[in-house]
Amino acid sequence: MTDDEKTRKQGISRREFLKDAGLVVGGATIGSAAFLSSCKTAVNPDKTVTLSTVTTPANRFIDPIDGTEWPTLGDLQAHFAETHPYAGDINLVTLDINGVDYTLQVEATDTLANVLRDKLGLFGTKVACDMGQCGTCTVLMDDIATFSCLNLAIECGGKKITTIEGLSDGTILSPIQQKFYDNDAFQCGYCTGGFIMAGLSLLKVNPKPSADEVRLAISGHMCICGNYKKVVDAITGGV
């Protein structure tokens, strides 16, 4: 007898228990911060689901050394050159992430994944292997699925970067997120953001992919929970 069957015998399935407890929402959030953070279509309308919203900050240009804020990138650069001429070896990069420009000081060895998580708090991008072998850190770079753990942040200036947080406005799931939800295409959710970004990249160039085309697109991704079939179903469902 499976775990689900055992639990169902006790009056409620494991899945329903998790949903009612809000853990499906929480689990998806673990895997992709914005994935279900704003699910309007709560499974059980009798339950209260605490929604969190993603707010889009305005562009800010802050001197990383003295903390002063400047109205434009040009003003910041001029101030920086004048005030900290000794800091010429400090790397500043402006990253376009989800449509917002962030000017940051980074180390030459900082990966994009590190910067997204550690400097910007965009925890929807996960890191597991940190060496290009699992896909959980996938973001879109100029609409192409890219492992953010393999890209140095200093080299990402001028690229249009989209993370899982950029897919939803914070109140309604994006179509591909909804497809994953409808197909139960996640369990713990840790890998889910990466799969969604890979699927989205494929759908941008091939709106109706075959199952084999989806398998190829997600072939660099690992799901320890073994949810591959449902992921393929979600992505072939189109958006």
Report the interface residues with ligand FES, using CB under 6 A.
Answer: 127-130, 132-137, 147, 149, 186-192, 223-225, 227
Closer residue to ligand FES, CB minimum distance, 39 or 76? 39
Going from the C-alpha of 41 to that of each of 120, 131, 172, the distances in angstroms are 29, 37, 9
Measured from the CB of residue 94, what is the shortest distance to ligand FES in angstroms? 23
Q: Which of 47, 167, 151, 159 is nearest to 96 (CA)?
A: 159
How many residues appear in the chain? 239
Closer residue to ligand FES, CB minimum distance, 80 or 190? 190
Q: Which of 193, 133, 202 is nearest to 167 (CA)?
A: 193
Q: Which of 16, 168, 142, 161 is nearest to 180 (CA)?
A: 168
Residue 2 CA to its chain's centroid (Å): 32
Measured from the CB of residue 220, what is the shortest distance to ligand FES in angstroms? 7
Give the span between the Cα atoms of 31 and 36, in whole angstroms: 10
Measured from the CB of residue 66, what is the shortest distance to ligand FES in angstroms? 34
> Which is it for strands 160-162 and 91-97: parallel, antiparallel or unpaired?
parallel
Q: 128 near 143, Cβ under 8 Å?
A: no
Going from the C-alpha of 13 to that of each of 2, 18, 19, 37, 45, the distances in angstroms are 11, 9, 10, 23, 18
What letter represents residue 73's amino acid?
Answer: L
Measured from the CB of residue 234, what is the shortest distance to ligand FES in angstroms? 12
Closer residue to ligand FES, CB minimum distance, 93 or 134? 134
Q: 58 near 101, Cβ under 8 Å?
A: no
